[in-house]
A and B are shown apart, each in its own frame.
Chain A
Amino acid sequence: MSTLETQAPSGTRVITQSQAVNEALAEELRRDSTVYIIGEDVAEAGTPFKVMSGLVEEFGPERVIDSPISEPGITGLALGAAMTGMRPVVDIMFGDFLTLIMDQLVNQAAKIRYMSGGHFKAPLTVRTTLGATRRSAAQHSQSLHAWVAHVPGLKVALPATPADAKGLMKAAIRDDNPVVIFEDKMNFATKGPVPDDDDLVLPLGVADVKREGEDVTIVATSSMVYVALEAADLLAGDGISAEVVDPRTLVPLDRDGLIRSAQKTGRVVVVDEGHQSYGASAELAATIAAGAFWELDAPVQRAGALDVPIPFSPVLEDQTVPTGESVYELAKGLVR
């Protein structure tokens, strides 16, 4: 049925997203001696989420580097290394700290290939997080991927499943351009089947249909895929068949894949955990509205985080981001 079953279909293993990322990093470190990791608490602690457990033991402190608390410093160092032949992975523990490295990302990494006339390339991977509901309060709960996606020259990947997390991480490391890959910090323990492929590399820019349906399309990014699937289950109880489409990358964006599904169902809800105003959902909705206009039977709807700082109060925080119930209501309103 979907790619999200926790049973292992033949030719796959069920592992956590955390293990999947760990495997992707280890495989790339083994495959290519120019790959290295730098970040706060990546080596001895294996990151606070334990995603990198065991890596420093296998690859040593020169390739899995614990850095001082200076995000702009390590990003600038990594960019320079990338321009001169290395393939660094910079670990930014919380996506909220992207604000600190914006100059390195936006003005340097995104521009160098263009401004040097292709003389330099920047095969830099920035690995970071997004997502609320971890009770981490307003400075550690944001989903800022739209900031990065807005800047030409930066690619943005948003894996939702262990398989996607592994395949997109390996693709990001091998890409000759800067890629920022966001993992939802609530999903590290989420399990899913990962193909028994000793070199699983997914193309950037190809959407994935996580569940097929006929009546309404729910386009969902990152962990919102699970919210969308929950909504689809609720809709099925009302006899409404929902299709769940995961773009997987915002840049490049699989416009045709989104439009195709919208043309099929005629009704679309876009769910993204970033703030709704001026967010990724706006770009996705506009792309669909223009591309599928004559097939749309209802206005494209969006669900995102409320336009408020993410609250620390659990009761309030849970009200701030889309839920299966809220997406169900929104989608049901389109199917009359």
Chain B
Amino acid sequence: MPTDVIMPMLGMSQDTGKVLKWLRGEGDAVAKGDPLLEVETDKVTVEIEAPAAGTLSGISAAEGEDVPVGRAIAVVLAEGEAPSANDAAAAAPAADGADPAPAVVKPPSDRSSRRPLASPKARRLAEERGLRIDEIAGSGPNGAVVAADVQRHAPAAPAPAPASFEVGSVWRVMAERTQRAWQEVPHFFLVREVEATRLEGWRASVRRRAGSETVTHTDLLVRLVASALREHPRVNATWHDGTIAGNEDVNIGLAVAADDGLVVPVIAGADRLELAEIAARRADLVTAARARRLKPADVQGGTFTISNLGMFGVDAFMAIVNAPQAAILSVGRIAQRAVVVDGAVVARPTLVLGLSFDHRVVDGAAGARFLDTLAALVEEPAGLVR
């Protein structure tokens, strides 16, 4: 196969090279390494050597012509090879100008109709940067595009930043609030695994009632937490500039993952609502949150927050306190787990309650007492079942 003489890339930002002077002519016998022509860039003048031994043929770049780097400007024919119709000279406009200029200048290589040569890494990099291999000048063997060529080429076009994600207003608010809470609130955490047999039974019986078919575990927990907060007003309080402000109402926020970030709509006066009312309010708020239709009033005034990741298969976790509130409940999934009952290991549905507190408002003992009340309610919600 004829060996292409390529206009080389001699500098990092070089796009073209000017043919200054051909040192050898069409049909000359050349040895590998013989100087063939002089090329000038904006910085240097260099001699281009024959890439192989044979006969110089198909010279397609005239003296004084600027040629894109990577383009074949002649071929060296091995012994016995004939110039092909596709060789550089044949594809180039005739020197005497008799022919009309072709509308499209085809890349003067017998590879022009084939897949452009490129290393696997170069192809992958080009694809990642949204580049076409045939737009990139190759510096590898036979003009193959190698990784360095793609990397040199990429800065020219502003490549799409593949790793950047949009930060919308909802996400920004979440980022700021969680960062401030994590930096300012002295957190501590309590964990307790509780049996969920009766909670499950409660939900099943509620769901048999007309209008309550869609009551969720979260709804039940809102109801239970609201009752527990009534008994433990300190957990329902707020840290405010060195003072602890109690809250008259029990307003429970629900952490809802919307497409554009976490939002926390609030079920106000949760301790005074019937379960069906909680379920209806929760459904409205979640729908509005996902549709980005929450009104300012829907997200204000929360005194406690519940975050439930049980539906994602999470066993247990510890949420960041939703400041200025004093505490947040992290709810894991309900699963059959081994528990000891009367000295025997048996399988029971359980869930793990995680509580994160602001230690400026609630200390460990007060937090533990709240958790104890809540655990008792989850395990035996009889007093609340209606």
Contacts and interface: CB of A to CB of B under 8 A. Distances in A.
Contacts of B120: 293-297
B139 A294 contact: no
Interface of A: 266, 293-298, 336
A32 B119 CA distance: 54
Contact of B146 (A293, A294, A336): A336
Nearest to B145: A297
Given A293-B120, A294-B120, A266 B140 contact: no
B121 A297 contact: yes
Contacts of A295: 120-121, 124
- 7 nearest A-B pairs in the assembled complex, by CB-CB distance: A297-B121, A294-B124, A297-B147, A297-B119, A293-B120, A296-B120, A297-B146
A175 B203 CA distance: 59
Given A266-B121, A296-B121, A297-B148, 18 more contacts: A266-B119, A293-B120, A294-B124, A295-B120, A295-B121, A295-B124, A296-B120, A297-B119, A297-B120, A297-B121, A297-B122, A297-B146, A297-B147, A298-B119, A298-B146, A336-B139, A336-B140, A336-B146
A298 B139 CA distance: 12
B62 to A, nearest CB: 28
B141 to A, nearest CB: 8
Nearest to A295: B121
Contacts of B147: 266, 297
A296 B146 CA distance: 9
B292 to A, nearest CB: 40
Nearest to B140: A336
19 contacts: A266-B147, A293-B120, A294-B120, A294-B121, A294-B124, A295-B120, A296-B119, A296-B120, A296-B121, A297-B120, A297-B121, A297-B146, A297-B147, A297-B148, A298-B119, A298-B140, A298-B146, A336-B139, A336-B146
Interface string B144-160: 00111000000000000
Q: Which of B119, B122, B123 is most buried by chain A, counting CB atoms within 10 A of its CB?
A: B119
A248 B136 CA distance: 41
Contacts of B119: 266, 296-298
Contacts of A298: 119, 140, 146
A261 to B, nearest CB: 14
A296 B139 CA distance: 16
Interface in B73-129: 119-124
A165 B257 CA distance: 58
A336 to B, nearest CB: 6
Nearest to B121: A297
A318 B140 CA distance: 32
B126 to A, nearest CB: 12
Contacts of B124: 294-295
A266 B120 CA distance: 10
A332 to B, nearest CB: 13
A297 B124 CA distance: 10
Nearest to B144: A298
Contacts of A336: 139-140, 146
Nearest to B141: A336
A328 B256 CA distance: 61
A198 B169 CA distance: 64
Nearest to A294: B124
Nearest to A333: B141
Nearest to A263: B121
Q: Which of A293, A295, A297, A298 is most buried by chain B, counting CB atoms within 10 A of its CB?
A: A297
B125 to A, nearest CB: 9
A333 to B, nearest CB: 9
A295 B120 CA distance: 7
Nearest to B147: A297
Nearest to B150: A297
Contacts of B139: 336
Contacts of B122: 297
A287 B340 CA distance: 52
Q: Which of B120, B123, B124, B146 is most buried by chain A, counting CB atoms within 10 A of its CB?
A: B120
A266 to B, nearest CB: 5
A297 B146 CA distance: 6
A297 to B, nearest CB: 4
A336 B143 CA distance: 12
Contacts of B146: 297-298, 336
B114 to A, nearest CB: 18
A295 B146 CA distance: 11
A105 B329 CA distance: 66
Contacts of B140: 298, 336
Nearest to B124: A294
A297 B119 CA distance: 5
Nearest to A298: B119
A117 B120 CA distance: 45
Interface in B219-250: none
A294 B121 CA distance: 5
A296 B124 CA distance: 10
A293 to B, nearest CB: 5
Contacts of A294: 120-121, 123-124
A295 B119 CA distance: 9
A296 B118 CA distance: 11
A296 B125 CA distance: 11
A294 B124 CA distance: 6
A322 to B, nearest CB: 22
Nearest to B139: A336
A266 B140 CA distance: 14
Nearest to B122: A297
B226 to A, nearest CB: 54
A262 to B, nearest CB: 10
Nearest to B123: A294
Contacts of A266: 119, 121, 147
A298 B142 CA distance: 13
A281 to B, nearest CB: 20
Contacts of A297: 119-122, 146-148
A293 B120 CA distance: 6
Nearest to A293: B120
A296 B119 CA distance: 7
Nearest to A266: B121
A298 B122 CA distance: 10
B116 to A, nearest CB: 15
A119 B124 CA distance: 50
A293 B122 CA distance: 11
A242 to B, nearest CB: 17
